[in-house]
Amino acid sequence: MSEITEADVRDEVRRYLEDNWDPNRGLVEWRVMLAESGWGMPHWPKAWYGRGLPLGMTSVVDEVFAEFGAVGVAKMGIRVLAAATILEHGTDAHKKKYLRGILTGEETWCQLFSEPGSGSDLAGAATRADLKDGKWIINGQKVWTTSAHHAHFGLLLARTDWDAVKHKGLSYFILDMHQPGVDVHQLKQMNGHASFNQVFITDAVIEPEGQVGELGEGWKVATTTLMNERRGADSARKYDSASTLPERIYAEERAEIATVMAPYTWYPQRTGRVDLLVERAKALGKYDDPATRQEIAKVLTLAKSAEWTARRARAASAAGKPQGPEGSIGKLAASIVARAANQAHTKIAGPDAMLTGDDDGTGGVVAEILVSTPAISIAGGTDEIQRNIISERILKMPKEMRTDTDRPFRDVPRNQV
C-alpha cells in the first residue's frame, strides 16, 4: 500500500470505534485509549500519539467520530497552542512530559505573552528570565491571561538578553503555574465579567529543561503559537455546543466545555449582535420608524458585506487562489459593524437602554451588547494595528520609521510598570 485512501481511513476508524467506543467509559479513560491509538490526533507523528496521516484526512476521521457520537481528545483552549508549539519546537522530553496530559484534558494551559507594557508591541516583553545556579529565575507581570487561575502550565515569553535587539533577546519557556512565585488575580472588565487574569511572577523557578527552542529564539517560537491561535479561532467554534446525551462520558465532556467556555459567555455580545436588530425593532414597535429603519439598514449593509467578504476570502483560499485583500479587512470591518450595531440597539431599546440585568427586557443581553462592543476593536490586534497591516502589507505603503529594533533593548524607551 503506497498511499492511504480516504476509504481506507474511514474503514480503519470505524473498526477502531466499533471495537472500543463506549459512552459509559470515563472521559479520561477513553482519551488515554484514543491518545495511545493515534486516532485522537491522526495528523500527528506516529511516535507522538498520531498516525502520521495528511492533515486533510482529519476531517474524514472527524466525520466517522460524529457518526458514532464519539468524543475526541481535548482540543479546547490554550492546550492546542501548547501542543502545536511543543510538537514543532519541543524536545522529546517535552513531548513525553506534556502531550499526553494535553490530549486527555487532565492538564490545562495558559499563554503568558502580553504584559501591561507590551500590548500591541508584544515583542517589547520585559519579564526577566535570569540564570542563577543553573535555574531560570522569572520576574515580571503578564496580563490578559485567560484560564491562568486554573492552569497547570504557562507558555512564557521572557527576556534573557537585554543587550540584544528587541526580537533577539527573548526566550520561550514552560512555566509551572503551581509554585509560590506565581500569583494570579482575576481582571474585572467594564461589562462586569472577569474573563482574564493578571499574573504576577516573583522569583518563580524554571528548570533548564523548561526552555523551548534555542536561547534568544523565543520570538520565533512564539510566532508558531500565535499562528496556531489565529488558525484555531475558526475551528474552536464547533465546540461551544455539547452533546445532550445522558451517558457518563457526555456529562463529563459537558462539564469540561462549561468550564472552558465560562469566560466567553459575553463574546457574542461584543460583535454587536446584528442578528437581533430586526427582531428587536419589531418587538418594540420601532420597525416602522424611518430613522430607526435607516440605522438598521446601514448596519445590515455593513454586516452582510463583511460576511460576504469573509466568504470570498475562504472560497479563494479553498480554490488555491492567492489571497486578496479580503482576508485582512475582516477584523477591522468587525469593529465598525459592532460599533454601529451598538448604536442601533440603543436607538431601538430607547429608554430601556438605560437598564441592565433583568430590567432591560432581554435578560441583560442588550445591556451587555452596549458595554461589550469596545472590546472588539482592541482585543487580538487593535484597529490601529489592523490599519497598519492593511496599509503596509496590502497597499505596500511605506512602513513607519522604527527606532526600537536597531539597538540593545535596554536602550529602547519603554514604560516602567
Partner 1 sequence: MQFSFSEEQEEFRSMLRRFLEAKSPPSAVRAQMATDQGYDEAVWKSLAGELGVTALHIPEDFGGAGFGVSELAIAAEEMGRALLCAPFFASTVMAATAIMHAGSDDQKRALLPDIASGEVIATLAAAEPGAGWDRDQILMQADEAGDGYMLTGSKSYVLDGMTASRLVIAANAPNGRLALFTTSADARGITRTPLKSMDPTRKLARIDFGNVPVELLGTVAHGVEAYAQTMDVMLVCLANEMNGGAERLREDALEYVSMRMQFGRSIASFQTTKHKAADMLLDVELAKAAGYSAASALDDQDADARAIASMAKAAASDAYIQTAVHAVQMHGGIGFTFDNDTHLWFKRAKQSDVFLGDANQQRERMMQHWGAGA
Residues lying near partner 1 in the complex (CB under 8 A) = 114, 116-121, 124, 143-144, 187-190, 192, 284, 291-292, 339, 343, 346-347, 349-361, 367, 370-371, 374-375, 377-379, 382-384, 387, 400, 402-404, 412-415
Containing 343, the helix (H) or strand (E) segment is: helix 326-349
Q: Which residue has the cell 440597539?
A: 345
Nearer to partner 1, 134 or 413 (CB): 413
The minimum distance between CB 358 and partner 1, in angstroms, equals 7
Nearer to partner 1, 254 or 347 (CB): 347
The minimum distance between CB 145 and partner 1, in angstroms, equals 12
Backbone angles phi, psi at 279, to 5 degrees: -65, -35
- Rounded Cα–Cα distance for residues 178 and 201 (Å): 12
- Rounded Cα–Cα distance for residues 172 and 215 (Å): 8
- Rounded Cα–Cα distance for residues 72 and 402 (Å): 46
- Rounded Cα–Cα distance for residues 211 and 156 (Å): 9
The minimum distance between CB 175 and partner 1, in angstroms, equals 22
Nearer to partner 1, 112 or 143 (CB): 143
The minimum distance between CB 375 and partner 1, in angstroms, equals 5
- Rounded Cα–Cα distance for residues 72 and 27 (Å): 9
Q: Are strands 196-206 and 182-187 parallel, antiparallel or unpaired?
A: antiparallel
Nearer to partner 1, 114 or 160 (CB): 114
Q: Residue 36's Cα: distance from chain center in Å? A: 27
Nearer to partner 1, 320 or 351 (CB): 351
Nearer to partner 1, 253 or 360 (CB): 360
- Rounded Cα–Cα distance for residues 213 and 155 (Å): 12
The minimum distance between CB 79 and partner 1, in angstroms, equals 23
Nearer to partner 1, 227 or 284 (CB): 284
The minimum distance between CB 147 and partner 1, in angstroms, equals 17
Closest Cα partner for 267 from 235, 240, 242?
A: 240
The minimum distance between CB 348 and partner 1, in angstroms, equals 10
Q: Which three cell numbers stand for residue 369?
A: 451588547
* Residue 264 near residue 330, CB atoms below 8 Å: no
The DSSP letter of residue 107 is S
